[in-house]
Amino acid sequence: MKKITFFIATSLLLLSCESSVEGLNDNPNQFTDSPLSLILNHSMLNVASIAEAEPARISGIFTDQFTGVDRQYGTLNGYSTLSTTYENFWEDIYQRGVSQIQIAKAKAIDGGNAVAEGQALILEGYHFAEAALVFGDIPFSEVNNSEFSSPAYEGQSAVIKGAIAMITDGVAKAGSSSAENNVFETSSTWAQVGNALKARYYLALGDMTNANASAVAANFSSEANDWSIIHSTANYGENLFWQFEVEQRADYLKMENSYMAQLLNSTDVSYKGNAKTDETARYNYYVAANGLSLNTSTGGFAAQKASFPVVSFVEVQLIIAETATSNSAKLAALNSVRAHNASKFSSTYDAYVEADFQTGGIANDGHTVADAMKMEILLEKFCSVIGLPTYQDVLRTDNFIGVPIKSSNTTMIPQRFIYPSSEEASNANFPGYVDQFVATPIHN
């Protein structure tokens, strides 16, 4: 692994000249230092490259939220990937993510800025946890430590628990400070965001008790709590799905024939609607008028200015719904999401009652009551939370919701991302090639 000392996105840095000759022999691209606020801001911007960019598109293809159609996306749709597919993601995690966050954390500690230190800890925990979830064992505690030129790969579960500990420490330090800034819009505090992320990671570990406690502690009561990346019509400020579809790779990624589109399409045999649920408006939110592409029009999922939630009210409530120990608590959380849907899509999402999940109920397709509730909760999350968190749900539950297998050469969806070849070339502790159909340790 390369040890990266410093990196700043030049689009964030405004430079001025003191005179026409001063610094003539200096390298303008060789930064010597930068303020904490700028480095921390870059670290926050980098979250978009994890949550909203290529990793979200790839995992969405694997889980059939989307359909890969053209060029390399056509091969991805058949689960054909290479180590080079994940090079940029690995760099986004380590070089552009963790390395810069650790610099920000060190600056915050040196300056006695506990709030900034807490923010950095939450961001660092986020990057490590998201990487561990998809790659399995990864470098962790030895990363960017000068004593270890080749950081050791540490166990997936240990890394995720270590990331949770970082976030817990960050929550204690950043506490009640607002998590809203020029990158994220939210009514939440950093403590709320941290607890919401912890709920996600405890759930991935199968620790239902702590997942529930963390989700409840997050106290996400409405969409206003969403920790959402802000987008605009400014060049490079647009929604990343819009950028991909409109400016970069038109028609590579579609909704056509995806499982999510089928679940929301009232004319499809897989339609998840019922007497209390009309999914027509949500289908139109995701799918363009041509019935094939992502909806990039105003008000659509991939609209130019559409904010993208890294962690949302819906995700948090559905974690509560899945992990609650009583049916009444499960229904309360699920119905809060349905009320949100009714408002967001101006459509019918009437509250469920327990009888709807009994044998013969409108939300029971031949399951036990417990499994019928679980199915409804997971399908709701599948159609609401895009990308990496849903990929983990499908892996964690052994594909309980029945995502179709797209390749005739396998009976499962890819179980992990493949380690990039850059690690083999630069890290003596590289564990060797691990096939994408080998389950990560927490899913064995």
Place of tokens 């397709």: 365
Please write the tens of the pLDDT for every residue from 91-146. Answer: 999 999 999 999 999 999 999 999 999 999 999 999 999 999 999 999 999 999 98
Residue 387's closest CA among 55, 73, 74? 55
Type of residue found at 214: S
Cα separation, 120 vs 322, in Å, equals 30
**By C-alpha distance, which of 222, 261, 226, 215 is closest to 383?**
261
Q: What are the residue ranges of helices labelled H in 23-139?
A: 36-51, 54-62, 71-77, 87-93, 99-110, 114-135
Phi and psi torsions of 288, nearest 5°: -65, 165
Question: How far apart (Å, rounded) are the C-alpha atoms in residues 163 and 130?
Answer: 9
Extract the tokens encoding 181. 């800034």
Report, as an integer, the average pLDDT of 222-239. Answer: 97
Kindly tell me if the per-residue pLDDT of 46 is higher than 90: yes
Backbone φ and ψ of 139, nearest 5°: -65, 140
Q: CA–CA separation, 114 vs 93, rounded Å?
A: 24
Where residue 30 falls among pLDDT bands split at 50, 70, 90? Answer: low
Q: Is the pLDDT of residue 404 over 60?
A: yes
Q: Dump pLDDT digits (tens) for 273-297.
A: 999 999 999 999 999 999 999 999 9
CA distance 330 to 317: 9
Residue 146 is predicted with a pLDDT of 87
Q: Is pLDDT of 61 > 90?
A: yes
Q: How many Cα atoms within 13 Å fall on the side-chain side of residue 328?
A: 0
- pLDDT bracket for residue 310 (50, 70, 90): very high
Mean pLDDT value across residues 211-225: 98
Per DSSP, 345 falls in state: H
SS3 287: strand
CA proximity to 194, closest of 160, 228, 217, 210 = 217
Number of Cβ within 10 Å of residue 77's Cβ equals 23
Which pLDDT band, with edges at 50, 70 and 90, does 24 fall under? Answer: very low
For residue range 139-198, list pLDDT tens digits in order: 999 999 988 999 999 999 999 999 999 999 999 999 899 999 999 999 999 999 999 999
Q: Which two tokens stand for residue 130?
A: 């998201």
Report pTM: 0.93
Asked if 86 and 29 count as a contact pair (C-beta separation under 8 A), the reply is: no
- For position 198, what pLDDT does the model report? 99
Q: How far apart are CA 43 and CA 38, in angstroms?
A: 9
In the chain, the percentage of residues whose pLDDT exceeds 90 is 90
- Residue 34: per-residue pLDDT: 85
Q: What are the structural domains, with CATH classification, of the chain?
A: 1-6+37-74+82-220+409-444 (1.25.40.390)
What per-residue confidence (pLDDT) applies to 338?
A: 98
Task: Judge whether 281 and 347 are in contact, CB under 8 Å.
Answer: yes
What is the average pLDDT score of the chain?
93
